[in-house]
Amino acid sequence: MHSTSRQDYISVNFADKGSGKYNNSKQWRRQSCLRKWKQLSRLQRSLILFTLVLLLICGVLSYPAVTEHFKGLSAGDEEKDTESNRVLGRGSPPLLPEPVKRVQPPLQEQKRLPNKRGPPILQNRLQKKGNASDVQVENKAADGRKENEDEALIRRHGAVIDTDHASDGTKGEEHKKDPKAPTDQELRLHTDLANCSEAVREAFRHAWKGYKDFAWGHDELRPISKSYSEWFSLGLTLVDALDTMWILGLKEEFEEAKAWVATELSFNKNIDVNLFESTIRILGGLLGTYHLTGDALFLDKAKDIGSRLMPAFNTPSKIPYSDVNIGKGIAHPPRWTSDSTVAEVTSIQLEFRELSRVTQDPQYQAAVGEVMAQVHKLDGKLDGLVPMFINTNNGQFTHQGIYTLGARADSYYEYLLKQWIQGGKKENQFVEDYLQAIEGVKKNMLQKSSPNGLTFVGELSHGQFSPKMDHLVCFLPGTLALGAHNGLPAEHMDLAKQLMETCYQMYAQMETGLSPEIVHFNMHQGSNRDIEVKLADRHNLLRPETVESLFYLYRFTKDQKYRDWGWEILKNFNKYTKVSSGGYTSINNVRDPDYPSPRDKMESFFLGETLKYFYLLFSDDPNLINLDQYVFNTEAHPLPIWPATE
């Protein structure tokens, strides 16, 4: 409605410089206010003053952050003290993790059975320092004793490395050692004493408490505002976290989540979901939990969501649309394009292939296999590297000439290797494409930074190299190591170690000890520092990739430094992202330890992936997800490697 009220018009008087008009009118206004005030009765004046004071008091009290800030800080301190005492084995005896009971799928059943991507880019809403009181993050909670140990650890690991003088194939790992820093053996002892596994379980319980108290049954916790956000309205965090609880031996939490799945989780809803995200988190999560527990509830739910996602493949090219309405059975591309993301259409294969195997229904595997077959044949690759978009009408790559191992392409490479492993290393096309792509990375995207020669994977745009690397790329050291473990060239392991060091430095060189979302490496001779971070890239979303790779590297090399690095990162998550009332929050600024600026969101992958990989990193049981029996999907849900007889 068009309003013509007076408020619609603003009249602006331009002051005549030097005429003194502006000052005069200000004076005039002040005098007229005073005159009006004096005309009021004493009662009227008292009433106005009383109301103003009342409003002021209410304003202060109803601003939750003010009271919560103080409550939060003191509660946080207490909690942290207890936690660190337990973690360091002081006071009461350390809590040992309960033995994890794992149920493998019965052998007979196995025989019966047939054989950042990347989430939508999250906006960086940089907050002003004035909002600091919103934060209940326990970033100053550690006690004195612990602080000293932390500092020692950070001093040692924060030291810049020289990758040109290494003895172990990783080219130069001469840490500038502080003579006061603890020896490797002391650190090992420290790590053992700290009982890292219990610390991860504590972290999970804390995250779960926030989810349970403020977001139960919803997609994601917003821990600062003690509320939730919805993406698909499918209890995303709960479903993503199911197998983590099982692996961590958190029986009670698992049972309450299972009860919710049994009674509340319904896919018969008129909602749009993203095919890739719901496949890796929900279908993958349900299948992984089914395999660990043997409970048919999860298989039934997996079949339900899997079949509801199938309309996505009804496109002219058979390259799936990005979105599906799972209630109506109608799929569509995003409103602004008929393209899908390459990583998204090529990182749903492990899950749908497994769904075919367990249901003996070949339609799922056929649909995702067709996508791989088409992508394999497409023109527009550069030495095995793929562009970021593919058109759902004609099945061709679009936006050609841009290559990255980060968002929108990353898990294409991961799933090439993992499909080969899942299928018992028989489908050669996958491993050939993978090997070619890794050669493509080495030839076109691998560079060293200055001054310390960190090996990194940059990006290519129409032949121009950019020294930009997403944190997402840190899945690569783990994937390379997994390939080498499965018989691929040993030099892949060397490269994995070098890139692991770089991903670790992306954490260690930041003031909070947490990596930003994106870094740029310096390549000019004479640079002062290897890593630069642009203002808009300083956020940390609690992502898993570096911890994931640390887990693989530790499993395959047993080098203690990977655990030490993981322990350091876990402590920094606790220091800068833990919210005292429950949950962990993404932060806006990894470079400001005084004000990391919470974003008020706990992504489901923090429980689904990050904490799971932390736990596995610190576990000494090689059979806790044996990597010769299971392959993790890109959301850390373990799926069985198919038995050779199938």
Q: What minimum distance in Å lies between the beta carbon of 234 and ligand DMJ?
A: 15
Q: Is 285 in the site for ligand DMJ (CB under 6 A)?
A: no
Q: How far apart are CA 312 and CA 458, in angstroms?
A: 33
Which tokens go with 643? Answer: 């038995």
Q: What minimum distance in Å lies between the beta carbon of 493 and ligand DMJ?
A: 22
Q: What minimum distance in Å lies between the beta carbon of 569 and ligand DMJ?
A: 14
- Give the nearer residue to ligand DMJ in terms of CB position, either 198 or 414: 414
CB-CB contact of 530 with 509 (8 Å): yes
Q: Is 156 in the site for ligand DMJ (CB under 6 A)?
A: no
- Give the nearer residue to ligand DMJ in terms of CB position, either 88 or 200: 200
Q: Is 605 in the site for ligand DMJ (CB under 6 A)?
A: yes
- Of the CA atoms within 13 Å of residue 180, those in its CB half-sphere come to 6
Query: Which one of residues 516, 544, 566, 598 is an interface residue with ligand DMJ (CB under 6 A)?
Result: 544
List the interface residues with ligand DMJ, window 204-243 (CB under 6 A).
Answer: none
- Give the nearer residue to ligand DMJ in terms of CB position, either 223 or 544: 544
Q: Is 244 in the site for ligand DMJ (CB under 6 A)?
A: no
DSSP string, 488-555: S-HHHHHHHHHHHHHHHHHHHTSTTS---SEEEE--STT-S-SEE--GGG--B----HHHHHHHHHHH
Q: Is 543 in the site for ligand DMJ (CB under 6 A)?
A: yes
Q: How far apart are CA 421 and CA 644, in angstroms?
A: 11
Task: List, in order, residues 6 or more apart from 633 with CB less than 8 Å away.
Answer: 280, 284, 288, 350, 351, 418, 639
Q: How far apart are CA 604 and CA 591, in angstroms?
A: 24
Q: Is 118 in the site for ligand DMJ (CB under 6 A)?
A: yes
Q: What minimum distance in Å lies between the beta carbon of 92 and ligand DMJ?
A: 36
- Give the nearer residue to ligand DMJ in terms of CB position, either 82 or 233: 233
Q: What minimum distance in Å lies between the beta carbon of 543 and ligand DMJ?
A: 4
- Give the nearer residue to ligand DMJ in terms of CB position, either 138 or 573: 573
Residue 351: burial class (beta carbons within 10 Å; 0-12, 13-18, 19+): buried
Choosing from 344, 410, 459, 564, the catalytic residue is 410
545 as an active site residue: the answer is yes
Q: What minimum distance in Å lies between the beta carbon of 475 and ligand DMJ?
A: 7
Q: What minimum distance in Å lies between the beta carbon of 629 and ligand DMJ?
A: 21
Q: What minimum distance in Å lies between the beta carbon of 280 and ligand DMJ?
A: 6
CA 407 to chain centre: 12
Q: What minimum distance in Å lies between the beta carbon of 318 and ligand DMJ?
A: 23
351 as an active site residue: the answer is no
Q: How far apart are CA 513 and CA 506, in angstroms?
A: 8
Helix axes 144-158, 560-576, angle to 10 degrees: 130
220 as an active site residue: the answer is no
DSSP 643: P
Q: Of 15-23, 110-118, 377-385, 557-565, which segment contacts ligand DMJ by CB under 6 A?
A: 110-118
Q: Of 114-122, 248-256, 513-521, 623-631, which segment contacts ligand DMJ by CB under 6 A?
A: 114-122
Which tokens go with 27? Answer: 């004076």
Which tokens go with 439? Answer: 């050669």
Q: Is 116 in the site for ligand DMJ (CB under 6 A)?
A: yes
DSSP 8: G
Give every strand in the sheet of 518-521, ordered side by side. Answer: 468-470, 518-521, 531-532
List the interface residues with ligand DMJ, window 397-456 (CB under 6 A).
Answer: 411
Q: How far apart are CA 277 and CA 98, in angstroms?
A: 32
Q: Is 612 in the site for ligand DMJ (CB under 6 A)?
A: no
Q: Of 12-20, 115-123, 476-484, 566-574, which segment contacts ligand DMJ by CB under 6 A?
A: 115-123
Counted residue by residue, the chain has a size of 646
CB-CB contact of 621 with 401 (8 Å): no
Q: Is 279 in the site for ligand DMJ (CB under 6 A)?
A: no
3-state secondary structure of 475: helix
Q: Is 635 in the site for ligand DMJ (CB under 6 A)?
A: yes
Q: How many CB atoms lie within 10 A of CB 229?
A: 15
Q: How far apart are CA 121 and CA 472, in angstroms?
A: 12
162 as an active site residue: the answer is no
Query: Which one of residues 117, 418, 539, 571 is an interface residue with ligand DMJ (CB under 6 A)?
Result: 117
Q: How many residues bind ligand DMJ (CB under 6 A)?
A: 11
**Residue whose C-alpha is closest to residue 481's, from 471, 492, 472:** 492
Q: Is 601 in the site for ligand DMJ (CB under 6 A)?
A: no
- Give the nearer residue to ligand DMJ in terms of CB position, either 118 or 583: 118
Q: Output the residue with the shortest Cβ distance to ligand DMJ.
A: 116
For ligand DMJ, the binding residues (CB under 6 A) are: 116-119, 411, 543-544, 605, 609, 634-635
Q: What residues are labeled active site?
A: 277, 410, 517, 545
